[in-house]
Amino acid sequence: MTSSLTETTEHWGVALEGRETLMLTIDNRVTLHLHGVETYEGSIILETPFTVRAANTDPVIVEPEDKSSLLPVLACFGKAVEAISVSRLDGALRVTFGDGTVLDARADPNYEAWEVNAPGVKIVSSPGGGEPTLFEQ
């Protein structure tokens, strides 16, 4: 198992702590590009609706194809990742930022809803849920 991944029977943890969201790409999906001290180190790609909850607020639904709903995810620019957790049971992704902001993405019944890339690791949600697909390099 690569050092970018920790594993339990229920979750994978992706070791991108401290990486900052220093670029966002928006097309029919939202991509958060994560950078370390010296280089680009990973990304989170969101292709179906997900929620963003700033500290002490209610979650807001973001739909990547509805540009009017993107404001909450734009607020993630410049934030540092505290933790990334992937459920091996239902395919849910949780990204927690250092300021308490939480991004949650669920599996989609028909599509690959999200993808996480880190050094040596790629995890892709499986349509319909269940354990996501893990690629290790």
pLDDT confidence of residue 100: 96
Q: What type of residue sits at position 130?
A: G
pLDDT confidence of residue 40: 79
pLDDT tens digits for 22-47? Answer: 999 999 999 999 998 777 799 999 99
pLDDT tens digits for 77-132? Answer: 999 999 999 999 999 999 999 999 999 999 999 999 999 999 999 999 999 999 99
- Enter the tokens of residue 49: 């609706």
Query: Residue 1 above 70 pLDDT?
Result: no
Using CA atoms, how far residue 51 sits from 37, 42, 81, in Å, is 28, 20, 16
pLDDT band at 13 (very low <50, low <70, confident <90, very high): very high
Largest pairwise CA distance in the chain: 40
pTM of the entire predicted model: 0.94
pLDDT band at 137 (very low <50, low <70, confident <90, very high): confident
pLDDT confidence of residue 37: 78
Average pLDDT over residues 59-73: 96
